[in-house]
Amino acid sequence: MPLAIGRLRRHWPVVLLAMLLVVGLVAPLAGGAATSGFFLEVLLGGLMAGVLYSLVALGFVLIYKASGVFNFAQGAMVLFAALATARLAEQFPLPLAVVMALGLMIGFAWLVERLVLRPLVNQSAATLLMATLGISIFLEGFGQAVWGNDIYRIDLGLPKDPMIVGARLFDGGILISREDLVAASVVAALVLALSLFFQKTATGRALRAVADDHLAAQSIGIPLNRIWVIVWSVAGFVALVAGLVWGSKLGVQFSLSQVALKALPVAILGGLTSIPGAIVGGLIVGVGEKFADVFLGQALARWFNLEGGGIEQWFAYVLVLAFLLVRPEGLFGERHIDRV
């Protein structure tokens, strides 16, 4: 029993979220079916959007865990992978194009390790952050120079038409985008695969060892350089999946690299070192953003005579800021103790 309580205490954010969900579902039901349908629709839409954010945030977390690098280039990687797939798919069948894009991302990971991480080993976090910014600028330019800078499409064959569920329960039912539903299940599968990879395979265990302590891992014979290549490749793979899903939703174009700016607060909210954190953070940000847009955005627009809402530009960041004040290491981040 103490164990269970301990676990509960460790995972209080999940509990909190679940409670919020329950309260959120029950309260409006009491208030009337019509509003609750709308409420649920906003909630589900937020959850789906959140899943997509966590897809990009996963890439941040993976790299930060294994190499302590805050990878600003994740957005550029998403853009590059999506561009490569979209352009290759014009000449090859889609599965082949995806595999080729994956190959490119692995090659990219190898180059990053060789040309950037190795010379910069043991530098401060700020320097490494800058280096990934450099990579990001380079990759944005390179990707568009090689693959072109128009808007391209990726057709994954996802169903585009929304479906309506629960028409009997609520007035008019709830509108759900099938595309988002597929995307959400893809993310769930990806997270499952990644956790299996991290928990069950030798490479995964090596990755976790490196994340725990670089020096100790090296001293028991784990090759750091190869681990970094692997982890950047995995991040490249995640970027590819994110690029496919986002790209088929929004079209493959430069603005895709800005998705990373959305995912940044998600990764921070969940705690930079935690994969479940990225997921939960994504859900919180997604739901929060949708609700803020629907309720707070209109209120703000009325009070301040605003030009449109646009509240989603900063809401996630301010939410994270407020949250970090309570829990400076994010939801599931490692609590560290400063010693002199």
Partner 1 sequence: MLYRENGQFKTTYSADQQLMPIAQDRWLMIALVASSFLAVPLLASDYALRALIIPFLILTIAAIGLNILVGYCGQISLGSAGFMGVGAYVAFNLTLRVPQLDFLVVLLLSGGSAALIGIGFGIPSLRIKGLYLAVATLAAQFFLDWVFARIRWFTADSSSGSVSTNPIEMLGWTVERPVDKYLLVLGVVCLLTLAAKNLTRSYIGRAWMATRDMDVAAEVIGVRPLTAKLSAFAVSSFYAGVAGALWGFVYLGSWEPAAFGVSMSLNVLFMIIIGGLGSMVGSFFGAAFLVVLPLLLNQIPGMVGIDLSTAMKSHMESMIFGGLIVLFLAIEPHGLARLWAIGKEKLRIWPFPH
Q: How many residues bind partner 1 (CB under 8 A)?
A: 52
H or E element, residue 176: strand 174-176
Q: What angle do CA 127, 129, 132 make, to 5 degrees?
A: 110
Residues 244, 82 contacting (CB under 8 angstroms): yes
Instruction: Report the C-alpha gap between 71 and 63 in whole angstroms.
Output: 7
Decide whether 262 or 290 has the Cβ nearer to partner 1: 262
CB atoms within 10 A of CB 121: 12
Q: Is 38 in the site for partner 1 (CB under 8 A)?
A: no
Decide whether 148 or 172 has the Cβ nearer to partner 1: 148
- In this chain, which of 35, 123, 218, 253 binds partner 1, going by CB under 8 A? 123
User: Which of the stretches 44-52, 114-122, 178-186, 212-220 binds partner 1 when contact is defined by CB under 8 A?
Assistant: 114-122
Decide whether 234 or 264 has the Cβ nearer to partner 1: 264
Q: What three-state secondary structure class fits 175?
A: strand
Residues 254, 140 contacting (CB under 8 angstroms): yes
Q: What three-state secondary structure class fits 163?
A: strand
- Which x/- pattern, by CB under 8 A, does the window 60-79 give for partner 1? ----------x---------
User: Which of the stretches 8-16, 24-32, 136-144, 205-213 binds partner 1 when contact is defined by CB under 8 A?
Assistant: 136-144
Residues 102, 236 contacting (CB under 8 angstroms): yes
User: Which of the stretches 84-92, 94-102, 131-139, 199-207 binds partner 1 when contact is defined by CB under 8 A?
Assistant: 131-139
CB of 231 to partner 1, least distance (A): 17
Considering only residues 264-323, where is the footprint of partner 1 by CB under 8 A? 264-265, 268, 272, 304-308, 310-311, 313-314, 317-318, 320-321
Q: Is 119 in the site for partner 1 (CB under 8 A)?
A: yes
CB of 181 to partner 1, least distance (A): 30
Instruction: Report the C-alpha gap between 188 and 320 in whole angstroms.
Output: 24
Give me 315's structure tokens.
């809401």
Instruction: Report the C-alpha gap between 101 and 87 in whole angstroms.
Output: 10
Decide whether 115 or 151 has the Cβ nearer to partner 1: 115
